[in-house]
């Protein structure tokens, strides 16, 4: 790597870290999420990226616990810095990923034409993207395994944004979902799911038998099934 490229990379990291530390996205979701995550509640942020939802959850549950799961080493470096800068003592960062079985997977991160990492698009899906990618071997576990390893006694809220890997995460968390019945905030994009052989209907078929009802964000309108690419909130009926 040339000195110029190395310097550019460092400057880009500083810019990403500065934005992550100083900005707070998703504030508009606070009224919706507050009843779902009590002050002493437990949330798992799967695909925590640079920590925007992690910060939000930490604010909602100051006496609780937030588990931020992030497989990308680049994103982890920013997330860890954000957690330290904001003194989020109720946050634990898990450097790894979640899937339907424990093991190792390759995380592919697109490299932009500028040379910057598109770290918000990192995915375990087989590469269907054009262009160069950075590839990292990542340790993964299941949500069920994570819950057991960390001694969960409750689980109130899960946010999952993993670029099409959502079905694998849910399949690896059936026991935890059935036991704790957390609310679920899922990003559902049909084209991303298709890259791993899943469809939006796959997610409904996993959650409907557990008694979950869906609402399409951002207006929280109830839906019976997939209604286009969006974030969806799944809440247990009882």
Position 6 scores a pLDDT of: 64
Write out pLDDT tens, residues 37-55.
999 999 999 999 999 999 9
Nearest CA to 230 out of 185, 182, 189, 201 is that of 189
Nearest CA to 97 out of 32, 173, 51, 162 is that of 162
Domains of the chain with bracketed CATH = 3-236 (3.40.50.150)
pLDDT at 162 over 70: yes
Confidence (pTM): 0.91
- Identify any residues that bridge with 70 across adjacent strands, giving them in sequence order: 95
Q: Residue 184 in contact with residue 233, Cβ under 8 Å?
A: yes
The helix (run of H) or strand (run of E) holding residue 60 is helix 52-60
What is the residue whose two structure tokens read 């209604």?
227
Position 128 scores a pLDDT of: 55
Write out pLDDT tens, residues 122-142.
999 876 556 788 999 999 999
Residue 5 — very low, low, confident or very high, per pLDDT cuts 50/70/90? low
């Amino acid at each position: 790597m040339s000195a110029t490229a190395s310097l550019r990379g460092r400057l880009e990291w500083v810019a990403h870290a500065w934005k992550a530390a100083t900005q707070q996205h998703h504030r508009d979701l606070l009224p919706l999420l507050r009843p779902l995550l009590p002050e002493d509640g437990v949330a798992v942020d799967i695909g925590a990226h640079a920590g925007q939802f992690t910060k939000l959850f930490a604010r909602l549950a100051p006496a609780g616990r937030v588990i931020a799961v992030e497989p990308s080493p680049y994103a982890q470096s920013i997330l860890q810095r954000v957690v330290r800068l904001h003194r989020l003592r109720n946050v634990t960062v898990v450097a790894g990923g979640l899937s339907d079985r424990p093991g190792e997977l390759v995380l592919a991160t697109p490299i932009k034409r500028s040379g910057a990492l598109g770290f918000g698009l990192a995915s375990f899906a087989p590469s269907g993207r054009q262009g160069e990618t950075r590839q990292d071997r990542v340790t993964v576990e299941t949500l069920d395994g994570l819950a057991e390893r960390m001694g969960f006694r409750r689980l109130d809220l899960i946010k999952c944004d993993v670029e099409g890997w959502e079905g694998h995460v849910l399949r690896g968390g059936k026991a935890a979902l059935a036991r704790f019945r957390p609310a679920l905030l899922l990003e559902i994009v049909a084209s991303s799911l298709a890259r791993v052989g899943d469809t939006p209907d796959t997610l409904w078929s996993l959650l409907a038998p557990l008694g979950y009802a869906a609402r399409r964000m951002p207006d929280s309108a109830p839906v019976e099934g997939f209604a286009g690419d969006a974030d969806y909130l799944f809440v247990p009926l009882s």
